[in-house]
Amino acid sequence: MASAPGSPVRVRFCPSPTGNPHVGLVRTALFNWAFAKHHQGTLVFRIEDTDAARDSEESYHQLLDSLRWLGFDWDEGPEIGGPHAPYRQSQRMDIYRDVADKLLAAGHAYRCYCSQEELDTRRDAARAAGKPSGYDGHCRDLSTEQVAQYEAQGRTPIVRFRMPDETITFTDLVRGELTFTPENVPDFGIVRANGAPLYTLVNPVDDALMEITHVLRGEDLLSSTPRQIALYKALTELGIAKSTPQFGHLPYVMGEGNKKLSKRDPESSLNLYRERGFLPEGLLNYLSLLGWSLSADQDIFTMDEMVAAFEIADVNPNPARFDLKKCEAINADHIRLLDVKDFTERCAPWLKAPFAPWSPADFDDAKWQAIAPHAQTRLKVLSEITDNVDFLFLPEPVFDEASWAKAMKEGSDALLTTAREKLESADWTSAESLKEAVLAAGETHGLKLGKAQAPVRVAVTGRTVGLPLFESLETLGKEQTLSRIDAALSRLTA
Ligand code: GLU
Ligand code: ZN
């Protein structure tokens, strides 16, 4: 993405590399990307890997790979660099230490020596008394003697940010005006006792240093916003931040049973969509509808159309429901929109091991090219291609027993015998002629086309559902079609 010189918009996408990428994370990336592109701004990709216990190099690489597969591009980030490098927080520890020291020196932060036990006891007491149960400010103004005493006891302090005793109001780009009163936003930790800086510090510090103008992120992070606004004010005073960004919180994504879609839900795993053969453009089209829409009567659109129309003010603050069926339907539409050549190429991974059950030597590209246009109109996801075309490349069809039982009724042997005769003398360069043959066989036995073609389909492909039958027969060819009908007849009469 080329950023327009002088464009004021700078947004960021800043995941933590913990576990597999999930759809909520992709939705956040998408909205930031679309916002940046719409405003010809700059998208910064930052890795928030300060939690050594949870972050891994493997998920970092998976993240990069997934974002590239989805087709995202960004202007600054790890591996491509930029004016605010490095873009991995694990490589910026000196910066955070320095900012924490400055906040301490200026009195915006203080050392808190309270043990977890003491905090718990006081919290329980406050709760019992019906008072706010957040941090009570115990260490805000310790005397030198108290500090010396705690130090002598061997306590190691955390660093806590001193919240101003004032109400914080801001206008959320999605939700409008929001107000937080001081009793709901207690002083919070920014550096652990072991010296490790926390999300509460590193995220706004980097947003400030990287000159982020708009923070678009999930609603789950809304409670950190008043803290970050207060921290920004302190950073501005210290000359570290230039201004405070605007914030927009994207709606929750709800899964089954109207519960928040969790990272642990299988349908939230991005890898699953990739393995099943969703197109990046189909998946992104669907994810864009989680909180936004192009128009009331157009569900299917390209990412260019989304970028052109995307306004953050149009995002709906209400929770969005994740609907796998709809996601598949939208993907199916995008599969249909591909040109055939593109479609055949994108199917390639599912036409070989480990997905394909046929031996590579039996794969016939001419047959594949002939059947592909018919397959394109039928698939919801690309992985379905394997089962749909296996009859073409396996020496014998894989019989699905339930399909066999359903299609092979009394009289099926007579029907198949007639169909075989008629097919024998049909014109094998025309699917229409093959259809007429089966239609005529059906008439002979008083069966409509649908009933007449079911046993033929199962005999030849092994299943009751599949690609358009007569194009399938034409592609398979006369010899194999007839010998499969013969095999089915022997099985029926055995
Ligand atoms: N690393 C944070 C997360 O993945 C980023 C939150 C934010 O956008 O501020 O939740
Ligand atoms: Zn304390």
Take atom 4 of ligand 1 and give the residue whose Cα is closest.
Answer: 15
Q: Read off the pLDDT of residues 362-378 as tens digits, 9 standing for 90 and up.
A: 999 999 999 999 999 99
Residue 317 lies in a domain: yes
Look at residue 1 and tell me whether its pLDDT is greater than 60: no
Pair 87, 221 in one domain:
yes
CA of 191 relative to ligand 2 center, distance in Å: 13
What is the pTM assigned to this prediction? 0.94
Q: How confident is the model at residue 7 (pLDDT cuts 50, 70, 90)?
A: low
- Cα(14) to ligand 1 centroid in Å equals 6
Nearest ligand to the CA of 249 is 1
Q: Which residues are catalytic?
A: 263
417 is a domain residue = yes
Q: Is the CB of 351 under 6 A from ligand 1?
A: no
Tokens of 300: 């299917």
| Residue bearing the CA closest to ligand 1, atom 2 | 15
Would the pLDDT of 237 be above 90?
yes
HEC secondary structure over the chain? CCCCCCCCCEEEECCCCCCCCEHHHHHHHHHHHHHHHHCCCEEEECECCCCCCCCCHHHHHHHHHHHHHHCCCCCEECCCECCCCCCEHHHCHHHHHHHHHHHHHCCCEEEECCCHHHHHHHHHHHHHCCCCCCCCCCCCCCCHHHHHHHHHCCCCCEEEECCCCCCEEEEECCCEEEEECHHHCCCEEEECCCCCECHHHHHHHHHHHCCCCEEEEEHHHHHHHHHHHHHHHHHHHCCCCCCCCEEEEECCEECHHHCECCCCCHHHEHHHHHHHCCCHHHHHHHHHCCCCCCECCECCCCHHHHHHHCCHHHCCCCCEECCHHHHHHHHHHHHHHCCHHHHHHHHHHHHCCCCCCCCHHHCCHHHHHHHHHHHHCCCCCHHHHHHHHHHHHCCCCCCCHHHHHHHCCCCHHHHHHHHHHHHHCCCCCCHHHHHHHHHHHHHHCCCCHHHHHHHHHHHHHCCCCCCCHHHHHHHHCHHHHHHHHHHHHHHHHC
In a domain, 102, yes or no: no
Per-residue confidence (pLDDT) for residue 488, from 0 to 100: 97
Q: Is residue 118 one of the residues assigned to a domain?
A: no
Q: Can you give the length of the chain in residues?
A: 494
pLDDT tens column, 244-282: 999 999 999 999 888 999 888 888 999 999 999 999 999
* Residues 204, 88 share a domain: yes
Ligand nearest to the CA of 116: 2
- Tell how far the Cα of 324 is from the centroid of ligand 1, in angstroms: 25
Q: Is 24 in the pocket of ligand 1 (CB under 6 A)?
A: no
**Domain membership flag for residue 313:** yes
Ligand nearest to the CA of 187: 2
State the residue for tokens 């070989």.
352
Q: 47 CB less than 6 Å from ligand 1?
A: no
Q: Does the CB atom of residue 331 touch ligand 1 within 6 A?
A: no
Asked if 247 and 312 sit in the same domain, the reply is no
Same domain, 390 and 468: yes
Q: Is residue 139 part of a domain?
A: no
Give residue 225's domain range: 10-93+200-254
Please count the structural domains in the chain: 3
Residue ID of nearest Cα to ligand 1 atom 10: 15
Q: What is the pLDDT of residues 445-468, one digit of tens each?
A: 999 999 999 999 999 999 999 999
Task: Report the separation in Å between the CA atom of 145 and the middle of ligand 2, taken as the mean of its atom positions.
Answer: 15
Q: Which ligand is closest in space to the CA of residue 248? A: 1
Neighbours of 324 (CB within 10 A): 12
Residue 20's pLDDT is 87
Residue nearest to atom 3 of ligand 1 (CA): 15
Dihedral pair phi/psi, residue 83, rounded to 5°: -65, -15
Q: How far apart are CA 187 and CA 227, in angstroms?
A: 8
Tokens of 41: 């701004």
Are 249 and 221 in contact, with CB atoms under 8 Å apart? yes
Write the CB contacts of 428 (distance below 8 Å, at least 6 apart in sequence): 434, 474, 477, 478
- Judged by its nearest atom, the ligand closest to the C-alpha of residue 47 is 1
Assess whether 242 and 262 both reside in one domain: no
**Same-domain status, 64 and 16:** yes
What the block records as the tokens of 26 is 């992709």
Q: State CA 188 to chain mean position distance.
A: 32
Residue 128 lies in a domain: no
| CATH number of the domain enclosing 226 | 3.40.50.620
Nearest 10 degrees: Cα torsion 469, 475, 478, 484: -60
- Tell me which of 254, 275, 297 is where a domain ends: 254
Residue 78 C-alpha to ligand 1 middle, in angstroms?
A: 16
Same domain, 387 and 479: yes
State whether the beta carbon of 14 lies less than 6 angstroms from ligand 1: yes
Q: Does ligand 1 have an atom closer than 6 angstroms to the CB of 221?
A: yes
Q: Are 272 and 20 in contact (CB under 8 A)?
A: no
Among the three residues 238, 254, 270, which one is the final residue of a domain in this structure?
A: 254
Is pLDDT at 4 greater than 80 in this prediction? no
Has residue 233 got a pLDDT over 90? yes
Does ligand 1 have an atom closer than 6 angstroms to the CB of 25? Answer: no
Confidence of residue 354 (pLDDT cuts 50, 70, 90): very high
Ligand 1 pocket member 16 (CB < 6 A): yes
Q: Establish whether residue 48 lines the binding site of ligand 1, counting it when its CB lies within 6 angstroms of any ligand atom.
A: yes
Average pLDDT over residues 384-397: 97
Contact 469, 456 (CB under 8 A): yes
Ligand 1 atom with minimal separation from the 216 CA: 8
Q: Which residue's alpha carbon is nearest to atom 8 within ligand 1?
A: 217
Contact 334, 285 (CB under 8 A): yes
pLDDT at 264 (0 to 100): 85
Does residue 24 lie within any of the structural domains? yes
Which ligand 1 atom minimizes the distance to the CA of 218?
8
Q: Measure Cα distances from 459 to 103, 370, 452 in Å.
A: 77, 21, 12
Taking the C-alpha atoms of residue 388 and residue 371, their distance in angstroms, rounded to an integer, is 10
From 92, 205, 217, mutation site for ligand 1 pocket: most ligand atoms within 8 A of C-beta: 217
Q: Which residue of 18, 26, 203, 207 sits with most ligand 1 atoms within 8 Å of its CB, as the best mutation to test the pocket?
A: 203
pLDDT of 402 > 80? The answer is yes
Residue 3 has pLDDT above 60, yes or no: no
Note the pLDDT of residue 112.
98
- Residue 343 and residue 335: Cα distance in Å, rounded? 7
Domain of residue 426, CATH code:
1.10.10.350
Task: Calculate how far, in angstroms, residue 15's C-alpha sits from the geometric centre of ligand 1.
Answer: 5
pLDDT tens for residues 185-196?
999 999 999 999
My answer on whether 248 and 271 are in the same domain is no
Ligand 1 pocket residue status of 217, Cβ below 6 Å: yes
In short, whether 15's Cβ falls inside 6 Å of ligand 1 is yes
Q: Are residues 382 and 476 in the same domain?
A: yes
Tell whether 376 and 488 lie within a shared domain. yes
Please check whether residues 364 and 474 belong to one and the same domain: yes
Which pLDDT value is given to residue 274?
96
Last residue of a domain, one of 337, 366, 396: 337
Which CATH number does the domain housing residue 270 bear?
1.10.1160.10
Report whether 386 contacts 355 (CB < 8 A): yes
The CA 488 to ligand 1 mean position distance, Å, reads 60
Are 285 and 424 within one domain? no
Q: Does the CB atom of residue 376 touch ligand 1 within 6 A?
A: no
State which ligand 1 atom lies nearest to the alpha carbon of 207: 9
Which ligand 1 atom is the nearest neighbour of the CA of 28?
8
